[in-house]
Amino acid sequence: METIAWLGVSHGLFAAVLMLTKSKRTVSDQILTAWLCLFAIEFFSAAIDINIFGAPLLSSSFLLFNPAFFLYVKSLTSKDFKLKYIQLLHLLPFVLFKITAYILQEPYTLKSFFDHDSSLWFRFLLGIASLISWLAYNSLSSVYVVNHRKKLQNEYSTLEVGRKMNWLLFVVVIYNVFCGIAVLIGIGAIYFRIVLPVTPVFVYSMMLFFVYVFSIYGLIQKSVYVEPTNNKHSKEKYKKSSLTESKKSIIKKLILDYFNKEKPYLNPDFDLTELSKEINIPKYQITEVLNVEIGKNFFQFVNEYRVEEVKKQLSDKKNLYSIEAIGYECGFSSKSSFYTVFKKVTGVTPSDYKSKLLS
């Protein structure tokens, strides 16, 4: 256990230093840097506890992880997110329980967790607070990540790995599993008197794992916010739209004419912002017309043009480019996205499509 604690201290501080050297640091980077430092402090306190008290004192690390993760996710996915002093209140429960644990010198063990002694109230409150914190903050974090991924298809024509934030979704899943196991351990201790002496090792090992994950992916993660869609223009309320039928028809024609003449879809970085500038129409109006008049989101609309262009080039017997090269020429940014989109649109892979043309 002590080895894990000192590893956490060293890696937490090392990762924080690396974050400080990152070029073009964002608000998200500042939050992650502070978070890694707090993790290092938590590991340091555990190491000191072991040397002074012979075991780590009862940890409130859940109350540290949950709000910090939520603020990090929110800062990544919200354009106008700003650091404010009032946000430090999110860490108040962690600080209060940490101080109380030292005052009571409450050991971190399940063996006496539910004993009816003078400290039962503290352990009970910590357990309830940790459970509420997990359910509330993790639910909000999950909503932000999922909504962000949904909005991507109305904003971009290419879903890059950095924008999709797959690693954060992975963290959400792993953390839920981790918390679920912790709850099961607690239930086992309450109802079945099954006590696992490795509980502190389990918790701090997972904390160390998250330090590694965030130090690796946090360094390469860029700002990936998607401007939130105004609820007034959501599909549920398009009936109340200020756009007249004639205005919708005009916008639709502008979009189709621009795509057919300029072929902007050949640019893998083409997005809704660029389209809005080119045809001088607000993004929310373009989104409404795409969803209501054309029946597709931005991602689907652009990539179907790319697929049609690929089909044309594959049908050209004079074209000697490889299938992958054709995909890149037609605006796809990677082989995997090319094959995935092509099969979703046509029902077959590019290779199978070409084979059918030759047969």
Q: What is the pLDDT of residues 218-254, one digit of tens each?
A: 777 765 544 444 444 444 556 667 788 899 899 999 9
Nearest to 292, CA basis, from 236, 227, 232: 236
What amino acid occupies position 214? F
Lowest mean per-residue pLDDT among 140-144, 190-194, 274-278: 190-194
54: left (phi over 0), alpha (psi -120 to 50) or beta: left
Lowest mean per-residue pLDDT among 51-65, 197-211, 321-335: 197-211
Lowest mean per-residue pLDDT among 147-161, 185-199, 327-341, 343-357: 185-199
Percentage of the chain exceeding pLDDT 90: 26
Judge whether 248 and 289 are in contact, CB under 8 Å.
yes
Q: What is the pLDDT of residues 145-204, one digit of tens each?
A: 888 777 776 767 766 544 556 777 788 888 888 888 877 776 776 666 665 555 778 788
* Residue 65, token pair as written in the block: 């992880």
Compute CA 88 distance to the chain's CA centroid, rounded to the nearest angstrom: 22
Does the pTM exceed 0.75? no
Q: What is the pLDDT of residues 52-77, one digit of tens each?
A: 888 788 888 889 889 988 998 888 87
**235-358 CATH:** 1.10.10.60
Give the residue-averaged pLDDT of 323-334.
91
- DSSP conformation class of 228: P
Judge whether 207 and 61 are in contact, CB under 8 Å.
yes
Judge whether 113 and 199 are in contact, CB under 8 Å.
no
Judge whether 43 and 204 are in contact, CB under 8 Å.
yes
Lowest mean per-residue pLDDT among 79-83, 120-124, 140-144: 79-83
CB atoms inside a 10 Å sphere around CB 93: 21
CA distance 4 to 201: 8
CB atoms inside a 10 Å sphere around CB 265: 21
Banded pLDDT at 299 (limits 50, 70, 90)? confident
CB atoms inside a 10 Å sphere around CB 249: 13
Give the residue-averaged pLDDT of 124-150.
86
Non-local CB neighbours of 202 within 8 Å, separated by 6+ positions: 181, 182, 185, 196
In the three-class reduction of DSSP (H, G, I as helix; E, B as strand; rest coil), residue 117 is classed as coil
> Which residues pair with residue 156 across a beta bridge?
271
CA atoms within 13 A on the CB side of 62: 23
CA distance 296 to 290: 6
Give the residue-averaged pLDDT of 43-53.
89
Lowest mean per-residue pLDDT among 6-10, 127-131, 219-223: 219-223
What amino acid occupies position 251? I
* Residue 169, token pair as written in the block: 């979704």
CA distance 193 to 40: 33
- Res 129: pLDDT: 92
Four-residue CA torsion sign, 164, 165, 170, 175: negative
Q: Kindly report the backbone phi and psi dihedral angles of residue 156, in degrees, each rounded to the nearest multiple of 5, phi listed first.
A: -125, 155
- Res 163: pLDDT: 55
- Res 189: pLDDT: 65
Measuring CA to CA, how many Å separate 261 from each of 264, 266, 279, 303, 354? 9, 12, 13, 16, 26
